[in-house]
A and B are shown apart, each in its own frame.
Chain A
Amino acid sequence: MDAKLARFAFALLITLLYLFLLAPIIVVLVISFDTRQYLAFPPESLSFGSYAKVFANVKFISAFWRSLGIGLFVGLVSIFAGLLLSLALSRHDFRGKGAINFLILAPFLVPHIVLAVGVMLVLGPLGLLDSYSGIFLAHLGITTPYTVRTITMSLMAVDRRIEEAARVHGASPAMVLWRITLPLVRPGLIAGAVIAFLISFDEATISLFIVSVKSSTLPTEIYHYLEYSTDPQIAALSVILILISVGVVVVVERLIGLRKAL
């Protein structure tokens, strides 16, 4: 009897914790169907009106495609850079290895707002503010630490003897990389690309400092929209973004198993 009670209490606790964590998302979801022109909870009447407005908002739509393109490109380049860095750091000894390791870790430790100021001051003189190149570089800087992390984890799980066996049996170093190492670190590459994409797609702080009109991303558009108006359009857009993130995670889970990838 006591055991049953304990189990019930435990289940209740877990449910409450999840409710607490999910509450903001649930509120946003509900508000996104509200018909009023301001953000308030609970809604009075429900409709898909806000969603229709989001899809009719040219600024949001063009910023969405820009963010998607930037995210995909950043994801790809970031795993390429991450792969080279991981191979160098985990397979070779060289001078300055410690310094590079620290530099890669640095974006984890430095607050994004500080990074943003630094990135702005660097890109400014180069004439890269409000340009695609500028935002690519900025996003690469913050995503590469993650891809290095996931790829290094995968690389460390690869038994070196397997690569040696390939070499002994006739594979050149390039062939070993292409036929043995890359297929074996595939989970790390996919996880790295997904994380890099999601970070880039979601990044607001640094983007706000370095973009204005030409290369505005979805997060900066949302921020600017919120400065002037607060209506359920934002909630609807948030729901769409949540669905995209969940969709990406589900696809990865189906493809390779997220636990394996991370």
Chain B
Amino acid sequence: MADHHLEIDNLVKTYPGALKPSVDRVSLSLPRGEMLALLGPSGCGKTTILRMIAGLIPVTAGEIRLDGRGISAIPVHKRNMGMVFQAYALFPHMTVAENIGFGLEMRGVGKAERTERVLKALDLVKLSGYGERRVSQLSGGQQQRAAIARSLVIEPALLLFDEPLSNLDAKLRDEMRDEIRDIQNRTGVTSIFVTHDQDEALSMADRLAVMSEGRLEQIGTPRQIFDRPRTDFVASFIGAGSFLTGTVVAPGRADVPGLGILHFTGDVPAGGKARFLVRPHRFVLGEGVNAFSGVVEHVVYRGQILTIAVRAGDHRLQADLPTHAATLPAKGDRVTLSVAPDDVTLVGEAA
């Protein structure tokens, strides 16, 4: 048995007539029980990967292995996957219980056992008592739960989510986010979910795979992705921040043109160029090791935080400040922002 439950090896998808591949040599693997988020802007190939795993579209090259066995040749209906669609895709002409029992029926599970397992699944997603309703009688959140139950009841090898929360309003989205994570923890089903929402990915997944233009940019835990982005794309797609490019003049010191000397932690040989990122919440008001003064150009009050943009030299620095201070900076004020060397993220070496 392989170390990993699911392995994707150099997966490529080129649609007929397309100049560029939609998915370009993507490799990743999931241990059993993990929840992975495929994150990226629309058109980055994340949904294409999900559909290839499900078997809904053929792969152009590369391999998908489940428990060490290639599955590319297995037809969709024999792959034993669960999939939760964006618009739920429940069967409108069946009751909720018939929807959930559909996969079992297709597998030839007898009526008595089917009924029992459907009831359990309804209970798991907190829809007990809704079995006999028509799909159209359910709210959006309830339809979502029914769709999850329909996938879970067959005890799938993998549970695939395609933008599962994008059809829900904000409040329900937060609720379902916790709910899905909770159900996944309890059932321990290995899951992949596709999203373009970074908050969703950061809060729900064990690991994130960030994609751009068909390529895998970086894969790692939410913390690794957020605090140690390895590419400009990942750094700018996940969270906000100020990008700085400088020439390393000594270990841990870089000269950023138009700003000054930036102290950082990380190994870049002297003489090389490097790209840095400072997250807005890493800046503090006042003097420090890396202190930069400038004029406040823009202020947005957000309740718990105050977001300001400061013009320092040739750069515009974005900072999130806590709002419990006695006085807060206003537009036109001259302020000094500082950031600890540990809080400066080295994104990569620039050419």
Q: B89 to A170, Cβ gap below 8 A?
A: no
Q: Which residues of A contact B22 (CB under 8 A)?
A: none
Complex-state Cα separation, A165 to B150, whole angstroms: 10
B69 beta carbon closer than 8 Å to chain A: no
What is the predominant secondary structure among interface residues of chain A facing chain B?
helix
Write out, one digit per residue, whether chain A residues 153-169 have a CB within 8 A of any chain B CB (1) or not (0).
00000010110111111
User: Which residues of chain B from 80 to 96 have any CB-CB distance to chain A below 8 Å in the complex?
Assistant: 80-83, 85-87, 89-93
Q: Are B89 and A164 within 8 A (Cβ)?
A: yes
A175's closest neighbor in chain B, by CB? Answer: B106
- Chain B, range 184-221, C-beta contacts under 8 Å to A: none
Count of chain B residues with a beta carbon within 8 Å of a chain A beta carbon: 28
Cβ contacts B89-112/A at 8 Å (1 or 0 each): 111110000000011001100000
Smallest distance from the beta carbon of A91 to chain B beta carbons, Å?
14
Find out whether the CB atom of A169 lies under 8 angstroms from the CB atom of B85.
Answer: no
Question: Which residue from chain A places its CB closest to the CB of B153 in the assembled complex?
Answer: A169
C-alpha gap A173/B90 in the complex (Å): 17
A168 touches which one: B82, B86, B90, B92 (CB < 8 A)? B82
Check B93 against A183 for contact (C-beta < 8 Å): yes
Q: Evaluate whether A169 and B92 lie within 8 angstroms (CB atoms) in the complex, with A161-B85, A161-B87 already known.
A: no
Q: Tell me whether A180 is interfacial, beta carbon within 8 Å.
A: yes
The answer on a CB contact under 8 Å between B89 and A167 is no
Residues of B within 8 A of A184 (CB): 92-93
Interface status of A172 (Cβ within 8 A of chain B): yes
In the complex, what residues of B have CB within 8 A of residue A172's CB?
A: 75, 77, 106
Q: How far is the CB of B160 from chain A (nearest CB, A)?
A: 8
Q: How many A residues touch B, CB cutoff 8 Å?
A: 18
CB distance from A261 to the nearest CB of B (A): 15
Chain B residues within 8 Å of A162, by CB: 89-92
A161 to B55, CA, bound (A): 13
- Within 8 Å of chain B (Cβ to Cβ): is A171? yes
Cβ contacts under 8 Å, B150 to chain A: 165, 169
Q: Is B54 an interface residue (CB 8 A)?
A: yes
Q: Tell me whether B76 and A167 are in contact (CB under 8 A).
A: yes
CA of A170 to CA of B157 in the docked complex: distance in angstroms? 13
Q: Which residues of B contact A179 (CB under 8 A)?
A: 102
- In the complex, the chain B residue whose C-beta lies closest to that of A186 is B93
The distance from the CB of B117 to the nearest CB of chain A, in whole angstroms, is 14
A183 and B91 CA atoms in complex are apart in Å by 10
Say if the beta carbon of B328 comes within 8 Å of chain A.
no
Give every chain A residue within 8 A of B77 (Cβ-Cβ): 167-173, 175
- Give the one of B76, B85, B92, B103 with max A CB within 10 A: B76
B154 at the interface (CB under 8 A from A): yes
B93 close to A169 (CB less than 8 A): no
Q: Counting CB contacts under 8 A, is B56 at the interface?
A: yes
- Report if A165-B93 is in contact (Cβ < 8 Å); known contacts: A170-B103, A170-B106, A170-B107: no
* Neighbouring A residues of B160 by C-beta, 8 Å: 168
> 1/0 per residue B49-61: CB within 8 Å of A?
0000011100000
CB neighbours of A180 from chain B (8 A): 91
Asked whether any CB of chain A lies closer than 8 Å to the CB of B151, the reply is yes
- Considering only residues 25-73 of chain A, those with a C-beta below 8 Å from chain B are none
In contact, B56 and A164 (Cβ under 8 angstroms): yes
Residues of A within 8 A of B93 (CB): 183-184
Give B151-179 as 1s and 0s: 1 = Cβ < 8 Å from A's Cβ atoms: 10010000010000000000000000000
Q: Is B106 a contact partner of A169 (Cβ separation < 8 A)?
A: yes
Partner among A166, A167, A168, A170 whose Cβ is within 8 Å of the Cβ of B91: A166
Contact with A along B101-143 (1 / 0, CB 8 A): 0110011000000000000000000000000000000000000
Nearest residue, chain B, Cβ from A158:
B92
Determine whether the beta carbon of A171 is less than 8 Å from that of B89: no
- Docked pose: A175 CA to B102 CA in angstroms: 11
Contact: A169 with B82, CB < 8 Å? yes
CB distance from B234 to the nearest CB of A (A): 30
Given A161-B89, A164-B89, A184-B93, are A169 and B102 neighbors across the interface (CB < 8 Å)? yes
A184 and B55 CA atoms in complex are apart in Å by: 24
Binding site for B on A (CB under 8 A): 159, 161-162, 164-173, 175, 179-180, 183-184
Q: When A and B form their complex, which 4 residue pairs have the shortest distance between CB atoms, in order from nearest?
A: A170-B106, A169-B103, A161-B89, A165-B89
